Amino acid sequence: MTITSYAQNFEDIMLWRALGHIEAGFYIDIGAQHPVRDSVSKAFYERGWRGVHIEPVPSYASLLRRDRPDEIVLETAITDASGSLPFYEIPETGLSTGSADIAYSHQTKGFSLKETRVPCITLATVFEMVPHREIHWLKIDVEGFEYQVLNSWGEVNVLPWIIVVESTLPLTQTATNHEWEHLLFARGYQEIYFDGLNRFYLSKEHPYLASTFHCAPTFLIALFSVKRLLFVSLYNKKSSNKQKK
């Protein structure tokens, strides 16, 4: 089956290699951002999968609700305490963060910054919202807040098959996995792949999937992503026209 990649770094291709045999699977996307542009879930959604999107930026959460009316969209951050927290929105980017240090670092590079407060819940709460669902993949792209997300797992006995975590400091190649991956190792996960940006972790319950991560996406797969670029361009143009009307 031909698959069009929408993700930033072919994360969807790698996940599809491992999980494409599953019909109507389920995912949780933390830091979902745009429903099409750089989306890890879009290709799965087109093939009948459904899931939960966590997105604290109001404009992106609104787009997700519009494009994915049959999915759960939570306009909240994930951290290890429920309530609310300061949040630093960097408009029209995927760089918005709950980390003040990272946000102000972006500001010194010329990015505009909008400080707000957003509600927050724990990862355990998200898992409890979808009881009895097998979670085939969980993606975490939270711009420096990885530890807080993983530390909020709690005692919930849920093990997503594959977890993808952005594991470098934003806009750098500086690795951050040493700060939080011990939380995954303690739950029986093993690292199986690194694409230069994200690390993929496999549950101990599904070791047979490790062989699907033996190599990076090929040039031929990259060619299919040209269709993605054309689609995103048309999508953005259509959205712009709707806003003008």
CATH of the domain at 142: 3.40.50.150
- pLDDT of res. 2: 74
Higher pLDDT, 95 or 3: 95
**How many domains is the chain built from?**
1
- Structure-token pair, residue 231: 């689609």
> Which DSSP symbol is given to 98?
S
Give a yes or no: residue 68 inside a domain. yes
Distance (Å, whole) CA 235 – CA 132: 35
In the predicted structure, residue 159 carries a pLDDT above the cut 50: yes
> Confidence class of residue 3 from pLDDT cuts 50, 70 and 90?
confident
Whether residue 24 is contained in a domain is answered as: yes
- 236 belongs to a structural domain: no
State the pLDDT at residue 44: 98
pLDDT surpasses 60 at 224: no
Q: Output the pTM of the full model.
A: 0.89
pLDDT value of position 38: 94
239: pLDDT strictly greater than 70 = no
Question: Is residue 158 in a domain?
Answer: yes
pLDDT at 31 over 50: yes
- Taking the CA atoms of residue 84, residue 89, residue 95 and residue 100 in that order, the dihedral angle to the nearest 10 degrees is -60
What pLDDT, on a 0 to 100 scale, did the predictor assign at position 241? 58
In our burial notation (b when 16+ CB lie closer than 10 A, e otherwise), range 131-145 reads: eeeebbbbbbbbbbb
Instruction: Read off the pLDDT band of 134 (50, 70, 90).
Output: very high
Question: Among 74, 71, 94, 96, which Cα is nearest to 86's?
Answer: 96
**What tokens does 76 get?**
């909240």
Alpha-carbon span 40 to 43, nearest angstrom:
7
Q: For residue 226, what are the contacts with CB-CB under 8 A and spacing of at least 6?
A: none
Residue 240 lies in a domain: no
pLDDT for 216 equals 84
pLDDT in tens, 39-92: 999 999 999 999 999 999 999 999 999 999 999 999 999 999 889 999 999 998
DSSP-based three-state secondary structure for 164? strand
Q: What is the mean pLDDT of residues 9-25?
A: 96
| Whether the predicted pLDDT of 97 surpasses 60 | yes
The answer to whether residue 85 is domain-embedded is no
Look at residue 235 and tell me if it is in a domain: no
pLDDT confidence of residue 1: 60
Q: For 178-191, how does the pLDDT look when each residue is reduced to its tens digit (9 = 90+)?
A: 999 999 999 999 99
Tokens representing residue 45 in the block: 């959604």
Residues 190-200 have pLDDT tens digits of: 999 999 999 99
Integer Cα distance of 234 and 245 in angstroms: 17
Query: What was the pLDDT predicted at 164?
Result: 99
Looking at residue 55, what DSSP letter applies?
Answer: -
Structural domain span for residue 211: 3-79+121-226
Residue 149: pLDDT above 60? yes
* Average pLDDT score over the chain: 91
Q: Quick one: pLDDT band at residue 234, thresholds 50, 70, 90?
A: low
Distance, CA of 4 to CA of 222 (rounded, Å): 9
- Does residue 111 belong to any structural domain of this protein? no
